[in-house]
Amino acid sequence: MAKAEFYVSADVEADGPVPGPFSMSSFGLSVAGVRAGDVFRVIDPAEHTFYAELKPISDAFDPEALAVGGLDRGRLAREGLDPVEAMNGAAAWLAAVSDELDAKPVFVAYPLGYDWMWMYWYFIQFADGGSPFGHSRCMDLKSLYAAKADVQIGEATKRSMPQHLLSSRPHTHNALDDAIEQAELFQNLMRWDAPRARH
């Protein structure tokens, strides 16, 4: 049997649309559960977490994007972690959780494209060992919902999801808060016995 997997809910706050010209301001990681074979086991998403605020890597930023996360760029420049320290710290944390759970990490996000783009780029640029998730060990919660609900991607919005799938936690735009909130959505989606296809 393949090695078990543990699912890491990730959320990113950034000061622009893409990494490189712009900077990741913060990120949060939360372990949502473990799957071995066909058995999925929920883990309290507040039990295994990692959070970092990072120094900017360029002078460019979009004020509207920066405002979403509510972080002060001047304070980040003074007090934020160097990206090398932040990404190596996250990689070491993932390795420790992997050893504890005897499982490989899988990156999960809603939507995957944005958070994966930032985290993968930063891991490749700054972590000594590159990406702990490889180049493709990731899952999009938007696609997971669309497949289970038998709807188009355009209909796979949180507004259209049944209320019982959503976390009761507030969406604060703090990266760790939102990673934990998203972990509960992931848990609910994994356990959801969706209605039968309509056709």
Q: How many CA atoms lie within 13 Å of 15's alpha carbon, on the beta-carbon side?
A: 26
173 assigned to active site: yes
- Quote the crossing angle between the two packed helices 175-191 and 141-149, to the nearest 10°: 30
Q: Name, in order, each residue with C-beta under 8 angstroms of 24's C-beta and a sequence gap of 6 or more.
A: 12, 13, 14, 54, 83, 118, 119, 122
Q: Name, in order, each residue with C-beta under 8 angstroms of 47's C-beta and a sequence gap of 6 or more.
A: 31
Strands 24-36 and 49-53: antiparallel
Helices and strands of the chain, counted as H and E runs: 6, 6
Token digits of residue 198: 């309509």
Exactly one of 48, 135, 171, 173 is catalytic; name it.
Answer: 173
- Which residues are known catalytic residues? 173
